[in-house]
Amino acid sequence: MTRRTRQVGELLKEELSDIVRREVKDPRIGFMSITDVEVTPDLRQARVFISVLHEEERAGTMDALASAALFIRHHLKPRLRMRQIPMLEFRADRSMAYAQHISETLRQIERQDAEQKREPDASTESGEPTA
């Protein structure tokens, strides 16, 4: 990723967040955030990664954003000083849900380890000497 594509990606991320929050009035869009924008080297396409807070709202939010892509591009034109506005492709970013799943799994393992340490050893309970 070149410096220019990173700069365009960051600018798109900021402007897209503002446009979706203020201009797009689709009720299907739930509580979401734009986590990343990847721009192709020719600056003609951009993959926009979306994280949706509630799992059940993800499909509706993604559908609403896909249907509003041309509307959003239209609103990007006056905000960006670019000859061509990239085509937008919205993708679900599941990294936050995956990180939450990993954290929960680690907590569960810690609880199991703590329970095993609290349980007294069966051989010492019976009073038998251990070798």
SS3 content of the chain, % helix, strand, coil (to 5): 55, 15, 30
Which of the four pLDDT bands, split at 50, 70 and 90, describes residue 8? very high
Contact between 46 and 12 under an 8 Å Cβ cutoff? The reply is: yes
Tell me the pLDDT tens digit for each residue of 20-77.
999 999 999 888 999 999 999 999 999 999 998 888 888 999 999 999 999 999 999 9
d(CA 125, CA 114): 19
Positive or negative: CA dihedral 8, 36, 39, 74: negative
| All domains in the chain, ordered by first residue | 3-115 (3.30.300.20)
Q: Enter the pTM of the model.
A: 0.73
Which residues are within 8 A (CB) of 13 and not within 5 positions of it... i.e. 6 or more apart? 34, 36, 37, 48
Phi/psi at 19 (5° precision): -65, -45
